[in-house]
Amino acid sequence: MADLSVNLCGIDFKNPIIPASGVFGYGREYEEFYDLSELGGIATKGTTAQKRTGNLSPRIAETPSGMLNSVGLQNPGIDHFIAQELPYLLTKDTVILANIAGSTPEECAEVAEKLDSTQVHMIELNISCPNVKQGGAAFGTSCAMAEQVVSAVRKATSKPLVVKLSPNVTSITEIAKAVESAGADAVSLINTLLGMRIDIHSRRPVLRNNVGGLSGAAIFPVAVRMVWQTANAVKIPVIGMGGVNSGEDAIELMMAGASAVQVGMAVFTDPYAPVRIVREINDFLDEKQIPAVRDIIGTVQPW
């Protein structure tokens, strides 16, 4: 049994695997399958200041080795999250990353400030949601906007602050450096790639929102590349995600430089994916006689 623990921003994780925001709700639905304490952490559904109803249906479409979604940040609002969901999650012996979003820097700061007085372990600021008209990815695609929103949230909280980056940019390293200088404690990437499908019989986009975020195995090579580039560009830790389906995928992202790994679409294919991946990481390490998972972080030897 290898040592699977990792430490990010002073927070101890028993293993590096975290179900990604949006696929896992607040965890309750997955308790039918396994104990949430088996997870390194949980990134909760993106929460805004006020309740949001999200986009019209269809919000989901399967694509080759992946899927599109345009949920549009449907959530019950931060007050509901803090009163109804967080206390329960905090009893689960796993790290809770509260994912937050907003239309303006002020809204993001307001949500972060409310979380600051809770026992939540980390805040993951989403500056990369492709499915909302204001805020969302707009913050994550310009260095100036990214800096502005991260600075505002930084002032509102002393919690460890992870900033979730968009891949829909010319240079992910420039954005990563901008949020690092604005006070981020870590970055997580990649969020979904903006995509679209059209039903050629009806000539209508498959998603009611016309466009949506592409996730799943199809984007894994993009994730590996961006995690590698970002880990080489910033000093803060990187949480990797994007199409991770197996322990080997997780190991690959960690070798590229990720200190922890989030699991998204794979949870839909196999609800046990996060706990299976933890087991597979251990099997790989044991087989290679590597004593601790942190020994592999950033160990890729580029040509």
- CB–CB of 241/264 below 8 Å? yes
Give the 3-state secondary structure of residue 12. Answer: strand
* Integer Cα distance of 190 and 179 in angstroms: 15
Of 98, 102, 96, 97, the C-alpha closest to 73 is 102
Is residue 88 at the binding interface for other proteins, with CB under 8 A as the rule?
no
Give the 3-state secondary structure of residue 240. Answer: strand
Backbone angles phi, psi at 120, to 5 degrees: -55, 145
Is residue 65 at the binding interface for other proteins, with CB under 8 A as the rule?
yes
CB closer to other proteins, 201 vs 235: 201
Per-residue tokens: 261: 């790994």
Is residue 269 at the binding interface for other proteins, with CB under 8 A as the rule?
yes
Is residue 216 at the binding interface for other proteins, with CB under 8 A as the rule?
yes
CB closer to other proteins, 221 vs 291: 221
Stretch that binds other proteins, among 23-31, 89-97, 148-156, 164-172 (CB under 8 A): 23-31
CB closer to other proteins, 54 vs 298: 54
Is residue 29 at the binding interface for other proteins, with CB under 8 A as the rule?
yes
Minimum distance of other proteins from residue 287's CB (angstroms): 26
Minimum distance of other proteins from residue 61's CB (angstroms): 7
Stretch that binds other proteins, among 136-144, 166-174, 246-254, 262-270 (CB under 8 A): 262-270
Is residue 148 at the binding interface for other proteins, with CB under 8 A as the rule?
no
CB closer to other proteins, 76 vs 183: 76
Give the 3-state secondary structure of residue 266. Answer: helix
Minimum distance of other proteins from residue 167's CB (angstroms): 19
CB closer to other proteins, 45 vs 164: 45
Strands in 169-297 per DSSP E: 186-189, 193-195, 198-199, 204-205, 212-215, 238-240, 258-263
* CA dihedral over 254, 256, 262, 266, signed as positive or negative: negative
Name the CA radius of gyration of the chain, rounded: 18
Amino acid at 35: D
Told to judge if 129 belongs to the known catalytic residues of this protein, a careful annotator would answer yes
Here's the x/- map for other proteins, 68-87, by CB under 8 A: it reads as: -x-x--x-------------
Of 53, 41, 32, the C-alpha closest to 13 is 41
Is residue 55 at the binding interface for other proteins, with CB under 8 A as the rule?
yes
Task: Say how many Å lie between the first and final Cα of the chain, rounded.
Answer: 32
Which residue is associated with the tokens 């930084």?
Answer: 154
Is residue 273 at the binding interface for other proteins, with CB under 8 A as the rule?
no
Which position among 9, 108, 129, 143 bears the catalytic label? 129
**Which residue ranges make up the site for other proteins (CB under 8 A)?**
22-25, 29-30, 32-33, 45, 53-62, 65-67, 69, 71, 74, 216-217, 265, 267-272
Question: Which residues participate in catalysis according to the annotation?
Answer: 129
